[in-house]
């Protein structure tokens, strides 16, 4: 009995290592699916990815931050950034990636660029990964490329959007205090514009605009809540940040006016003007226009 079990376990280990085993008649040989075994090994030992794309891109593999350099590493970061325009796991056709990142180039040349960038990205994320072993984070199948964060991974864009949506739902359900907490969590995640270093990349515009709109919504809704609670200082600061992000945001201006009227500042000297970057250490501040005072009836 023990000998049979030992023989069976030994056969499985040998099969996992790619050995060829004869059947009972010694006529049929079976080879292990090396790719599947490698995929299981690489996926089970990989650390989760932590990706911060609100503001400058920062990527962490476990606790270690990935360092991006010029050359191929820069191109690999560009591919990763493009993959971040959709939720992790979304498959991108290779042709779409090439068209977005290397538009106008010869298809053969852009294909070479993509293959080199993906190879470099594999090494950036898993420096010790053998060349023939599949990546735990990059999936290539059927002419498509996708990103996986691994078990326990984190993507600030997804978390930010989830917190804003949660806050809106709580607010609609009459749970304003809980909604305010979710708004604060979302605002804390917003370090800056989506991939702010790719300011002129057209493929980043749609998501960047949507996220900025969600950010100003969170600021205005939280400012309104703070004003209702009598915290005019916090409401003023939040409304000012919304105006700093979107200069013509009328709801934020109306909130500022309400704050100043509630504190008795409006009409006492001159109309308050929001001036970004004039406060201490470059922080936004409220000053007063230097012209004839007027009041709002």
pLDDT for 152-199, tens place per residue? 999 999 999 999 999 999 999 999 999 999 999 999 999 999 999 999
Report yes or no on 37 lying in a domain. no
Residue 101 has pLDDT above 60, yes or no: yes
Q: Could you tell me the pLDDT band of residue 62, with boundaries at 50, 70 and 90?
A: very high
Residue at a domain's end among 133, 152, 171: 152
261 plus 169 within the same structural domain: yes
Q: Could you tell me the pLDDT band of residue 70, with boundaries at 50, 70 and 90?
A: low
Residue 297 has pLDDT above 90, yes or no: no
Quote the CA–CA distance of 23 and 15 in Å, as a whole number. Answer: 13
Residue 69 has pLDDT above 90, yes or no: no
**β partners of residue 287:** 273
Domain that holds residue 259: 155-288
Report yes or no on 162 lying in a domain. yes
Pairing status of strand 29-30 against strand 21-22: antiparallel
Residue 287 has pLDDT above 80, yes or no: no
- In Å, the largest CA–CA distance within the chain is 103
148 plus 93 within the same structural domain: yes
Does this model's pTM top 0.95? My answer is no
8-state DSSP, 71: T
Q: Cα dist. 245→105, 167, 250, 275 in Å?
A: 36, 20, 12, 12
Residue 27 has pLDDT above 70, yes or no: no
Domain count, the chain: 3
Identify which has the larger pLDDT, 297 or 47.
47
């Amino acid at each position: 009995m023990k000998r049979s079990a030992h023989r069976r376990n030994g056969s499985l280990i040998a099969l996992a290592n790619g050995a060829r085993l004869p059947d009972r008649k010694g006529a049929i040989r079976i080879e292990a699916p090396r790719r599947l075994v490698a995929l299981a090994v690489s996926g089970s030992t990989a650390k989760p990815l932590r990706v911060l794309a609100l503001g400058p891109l920062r990527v962490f593999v476990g606790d270690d931050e990935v360092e991006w350099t010029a050359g191929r590493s820069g191109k690999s970061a560009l591919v990763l950034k493009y993959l971040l325009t959709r939720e992790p796991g979304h498959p991108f056709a290779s042709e779409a990636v090439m068209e977005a990142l290397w538009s106008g180039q010869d298809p053969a040349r852009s294909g070479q660029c993509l293959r080199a960038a993906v190879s470099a990205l594999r090494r950036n994320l898993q420096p010790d990964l053998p060349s023939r072993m599949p990546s735990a984070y990059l999936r290539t199948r059927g002419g498509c490329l996708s990103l996986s964060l691994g078990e326990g991974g984190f993507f600030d864009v997804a978390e930010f959007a989830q917190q804003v949506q949660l806050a809106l739902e709580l607010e609609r359900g009459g749970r304003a205090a809980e909604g305010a907490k979710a708004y604060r969590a979302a605002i804390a995640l917003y370090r800056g514009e989506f991939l702010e270093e790719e300011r002129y990349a057209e493929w980043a515009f749609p998501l960047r605009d949507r996220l900025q709109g969600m950010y100003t919504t969170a600021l205005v809704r939280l400012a309104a809540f703070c004003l209702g609670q009598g915290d005019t200082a916090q409401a003023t600061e939040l409304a000012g940040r919304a105006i700093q992000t979107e200069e013509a945001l009328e709801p934020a201006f109306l909130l500022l006016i309400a704050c100043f009227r509630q504190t008795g500042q409006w009409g006492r000297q001159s109309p308050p003007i929001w001036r970004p970057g004039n406060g201490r250490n470059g922080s936004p501040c409220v000053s007063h226009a230097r012209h004839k005072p007027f009041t709002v009836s």
